[in-house]
Amino acid sequence: MKSPHYQPQKRKWLAWIISLLALAAIMWQVSHHEAISEQSFHWLQILPKDPILLGIVALLIPINWGIEAVKWHLLLGRQNQSFGHAFRTVIVGSTWGFLTPNRSGDAAGRLALLPANQRTIGLRAFGWSAWAQGGMTLTFGGLAWAWCSELFEADHASNSMMGIQKLQTLIGFNSVWAIPSVAILGAALWWILGWANVQFGSAVLGKLSRLFTRPSWMVDNPQGTSPEMRKKLPLVVTLSGVRYGVFATQFVFGLWAYGFAEMPLLMPAIALVYWGNMIIPTAALAEVGVREALIVMLLQPQPEMTAPLIAATFSVWALNLVVPAAIGAFIGPNLLEYSESKPAPSHEH
């Protein structure tokens, strides 16, 4: 029989290994990135024209992650834990997610900090939060596609938006409304799946589950999503919309800091970058390459503005993901040890 201290010690070592790997990946990614390579660009090209605007991006970091922590804390319904603990758990989760496609390790990092009898609830809480946030990304991405296609159809598209048309042709869709239609339909189906689960539960989806396998956190059974958690979903969806607005605003300020001020073009481009990030499975440390490729293709900048555009995208990525992941790497092992030392509640509502 294993010692009761065996598993916590094993998990603590795993937390340290994950943290060190994430830190190593962060250092490698930053040091090898073309946006800070003297051989690629002149240093003056990658410095912001207005550092104050980049400072605003940094000030919004705790708000961005704070909203995510509010959703996590709300869905868990853990009255015995403070919001501060939920915030630190979310930051540690970002570290674990740094090395995995679409940040899927984020869930594992958060669950590792929960008592064993609360991990099933935690998995569903993470799933519903991700569903709401993903729905916002798909929705605004679909709307951005529709807006751009409307401009193309009316022949009001600028040269900077020709990249969107090139992207459609590259994918193989010659019709202007082909991709927008698919994107909007995908967003609608995403929301319908969750809404149907909340409204009808096993009455309808139980039959569908015989044909389609649903994620474990959406299975409606006695061990599934509790009515209390379901009642909180409208607020979680609203908070996800607010959070989307926050990190989209960060992207806007980051681009402004480097001299990009065409607001009507920036907003749909940013929405499409986040949309592309979601549908292209990449780890967070490779995600920045996808963002840059998309933003350059979408905005089609002048040659002298390509370097600032890449630098702006890299800066926003570094502030929003690298900084929290690095902080999580330091606090993760200690937070895990603290969580293991606290007795788990006997019942969770």
pLDDT in tens, 155-210: 555 555 555 666 555 555 555 667 788 889 999 999 998 887 776 654 555 565 66
**pLDDT computed for residue 182 by the predictor:** 85
| DSSP result, 90-158 | HHHHHHHHTTSBTTTHHHHHHHHTS-GGGHHHHHHHHHHHHHHHHHHHHHHHHHHHHHHHHHHHTT---
- Is 166 within 8 Å of 297 (Cβ atoms)? yes
Phi then psi dihedrals of residue 80, to 5 deg: -90, 0
The segments of the chain whose pLDDT lies below 70 read: 1-45, 78-80, 99, 101-102, 150-177, 199-224, 281-288, 332-349
In our burial notation (b when 16+ CB lie closer than 10 A, e otherwise), range 168-180 reads beeeeeeebbebb
**pLDDT computed for residue 39 by the predictor:** 45
Cα separation values, 125 from 100, 159, 236, Å? 20, 44, 10
CA distance 249 to 177: 27
**pLDDT computed for residue 198 by the predictor:** 73
**pLDDT computed for residue 172 by the predictor:** 53
**pLDDT computed for residue 247 by the predictor:** 95
**pLDDT computed for residue 311 by the predictor:** 87
CA distance 290 to 14: 29
